[in-house]
Amino acid sequence: MAHSTRRLVAIGALGLAASLTLAGCGGGQGFDDEPAEPGATGDLTSSDDPLTIMIGSSGDAETTAVTEAVAAWSADSGVEAEVIPATDLTQQLSQGFAGGSPPDLFYLATEQLAGYAGNGSLVAYGDMLENRDDFYPSLVENFTFEDEFYCAPKDFSTLQLIINRGLWEDAGLTDADIPTDWESLAAAAEKLTTGDTTGLVFSGEYQRIGVFMAQAGGRLVSEDGTEAVADSPENAEALSYVQEQLAGGTFATAADVGAGWGGEAFGKQLGAMTIEGNWITGALGDFPDVEPLVVELPEGPAGQGTLQFTNCWGMAADSPNQEAALDLVEYLTTAEQQLAFSDAFGPMPSVQSAADQWTSDNPDLEAFLAGADYAQGVPTNDGVSDVFADFNAQIPSLKDGDPAAILQTVQSNLEAIVG
């Protein structure tokens, strides 16, 4: 497959799927227990039917890029295909499956996989992909359910530390002060806190403060997904650290400073640092006076840690033309096409063969890709979206609350769905 040397530009806005809730149902079909050989498509349906591709777009740039890519494939393959930008992807997917007419391909978030795979709505086509071994192993793991690799990761992002260069220099800080551990992060945040600006501001949700849990050696669910481990000493240490900085006024959530998310707080200089993904640089187009410096998050007691977010190309078990859908997925996930998508709207390619080119063309964003080596994926157990929602509802109380009690509630909620 061809590889691109296309010049990349600044990362654009990318909507996280981490906040989506699972609301899917639908029929499907059974599959052999043995994984297919790469490229084998004997178990897939085939017809002359056109394809429908439903996406949860971050904006016009993403919609245009995906539509043009699908049109190019369609012209070459002779298979008609239509891209449908969803206004509410979760709801529209649910309605499509419930009505027996789901799209052939669609964006699927990690936390939706177990529900759709468990009720037979998806084709487990991952091992049929010719480029199967090019995907980052951690992304393959994100979309593996009951030992089956279901769908091709379409792109991914990690969280890292974003620093306002101007405010950093105004505070008398230099490259030597870039945080390398929790102590130096707290020290930098304290120096950066002045007037209406808080040192570190991030969205008040597990999908951000979870980086501290990872750095402490904690996680919500065991790596194999079979055990709830939220109420661990490691997680308690992480939340206690965050709590101490919140109470001291050097950390704040976006809501605390009147912003909708960490990127907005950073752009408005309500926060001198934030924890976000590579989509933030596109959002900062609205704040041309803010110059971001992207660095890897500091190490915690257990070393480096961050969170990783991704979507895959889900394929409906009811699709009458799965062979064509597989061919389209392989086209959309080549290094060349993923680099073109990165150029157009910002995601990092999910294939390792694109890494050198992406890094070469985006040296200021290299920290995001570096995180792929140690990032944790968010749990993918069926029903975990509701657990996230409850956890996030408790985070505003962390500043004055009991970290252990918060984690015990999360543990209890996870035990109801794990195993």
264 and 387 inside one domain: yes
Which among 200, 296, 207, 304 has a CA at the least distance from the CA of 244?
A: 200
Same domain, yes or no: 73 and 172: no
Among 96, 23, 120, 118, residue whose Cα is nearest residue 386: 23
Domain that holds residue 249: 160-306+381-415
344 and 398 part of one domain: no
Dihedral over Cα of 101, 381, 353, 64: its sign: positive
- What's the rounded Cα separation, in Å, for the pair 345 and 55? 14
| Cα distance between residue 306 and residue 299, in whole Å | 10
pTM of the model: 0.82
In a domain, 31, yes or no: no
360/336 same-domain check: yes
| DSSP track, 71-126 | HHHHHHH---EEEEE-SSHHHHHHHHHHTT---SEEEEEHHHHHHHHHTT-B---G
Backbone angles phi, psi at 394, to 5 degrees: -90, -20
Helix/strand/coil for 216? coil
Helix (H, G, I), strand (E, B) or coil at 147: coil
Q: Which residues contact 3 (CB under 8 A, 6 or more apart)?
A: 334, 335, 336, 353, 354, 357
Instruction: Tell me the CATH number at 221.
Output: 3.40.190.10
Q: Is position 26 within any domain?
A: no
CB 113 within 8 A of CB 380: yes
H or E stretch at 291: none
- pLDDT tens-place values along the chain, 419 residues long: 333 322 222 333 333 333 333 323 333 333 333 444 544 556 899 999 999 999 998 888 899 999 999 999 999 999 999 999 999 999 999 999 999 999 999 999 998 999 999 999 999 999 999 999 999 998 999 999 999 999 999 999 999 999 999 999 999 999 999 999 999 999 999 999 999 999 999 999 999 999 999 999 999 999 888 999 999 999 999 999 999 999 999 999 999 999 999 999 999 999 999 999 988 877 888 899 999 999 999 999 999 999 999 999 999 999 999 999 999 999 999 999 999 999 888 889 999 999 999 999 999 999 999 999 899 999 988 899 899 999 999 999 999 999 999 999 999 999 999 96
Q: Three-class SS of residue 272?
A: strand
Are residues 240 and 91 part of one domain?
Answer: no
Amino acid letter, residue 41? T
Of 379, 300, 316, residue with least CA distance to 107: 316
Are 274 and 168 in a shared domain?
yes
Task: Count Cα atoms within 13 angstroms, Cβ side, for 16.
Answer: 21
What are the CA-CA distances from residue 173 to residues 7, 164, 178, 296 (Å)?
Answer: 33, 11, 8, 17
Reduced to 3 states (helix: H, G, I; strand: E, B; else coil), residue 39 is: coil
Joined together, the tokens standing for residue 159 give: 């969280």
Total of domains in the chain: 2
Spell out the residues 6+ positions from residue 319 whose beta carbon is closer than 8 angstroms to its own.
45, 51, 102, 104, 105, 123, 325
What span, in angstroms and rounded, lies between the C-alpha atoms of 15 and 86?
13
DSSP label at residue 243: H
Q: Are residues 203 and 318 in the same domain?
A: no
Residue 35 belongs to a domain: no
Indicate whether 5 belongs to any domain: no
Structure tokens at 125: 């086509």
Query: Is residue 263 situated within a structural domain?
Result: yes
Same domain, 241 and 263: yes
Q: Are residues 268 and 407 in the same domain?
A: yes
Q: What is the dihedral of CA 230, 236, 238, 241, to 10 degrees?
A: 160
175 three-class SS: helix
Q: Calculate helix-pair angle for 384-394, 403-415, nearest 10 degrees.
A: 170
Q: Do 232 and 319 lie in a common domain?
A: no
**Residue 403 domain-assigned (yes or no):** yes
Same domain for 294 and 198? yes
Q: What is the separation of C-alpha 223 from the centre of its chain, rounded to a whole number of angstroms?
A: 17
Q: Do 70 and 118 fall into the same domain?
A: yes
CA 98 vs. chain centroid, Å, equals: 26
Q: Is residue 121 part of a domain?
A: yes
34 in any annotated domain = no
